Amino acid sequence: MPQIGLLLGKVDFSNLFITISGEKYAALAQVQDAGSITLNIDVLFNTIIDFLIVALAIFFLVRQMNKLEKKDKKPGEVTSITCPHCLMEISVKSTRYAACTSNLK
């Protein structure tokens, strides 16, 4: 979080907290000594930013995989046929369809 704090004007997120009991404390150490329950903003922001970074990385990875998959297919190429017995769509490379177990030629 130091990078985010620097971008926001040298804000120190380690002392940002909300006490559940509603009592006011000057520092996180005082709250922990008193045994009060807190919601630490630093941990919350850190978790949100980590989630967004991982989600963005997965988004770009899936996007690139989809682009590669589209490049593998040639335009006009037949990739599936209809089984004459059960009328289900199957791959051209299939020799037997799993649902009706008919032999395909």
**How many whole angstroms separate alpha carbon 7 and alpha carbon 19?**
26
Q: Are 99 and 85 in contact (CB under 8 A)?
A: no
- Beta-carbon contacts of 28 under 8 Å, excluding residues fewer than 6 positions away, are 14, 15, 17, 38, 40
- What six digits make up the tokens of 101? 């177990």
- Mean pLDDT for 69-89 is 71
Of 33-42, 69-78, 82-91, which one has max mean pLDDT?
33-42
pLDDT at residue 2 greater than cutoff 70: no
- What six digits make up the tokens of 60? 């770009």
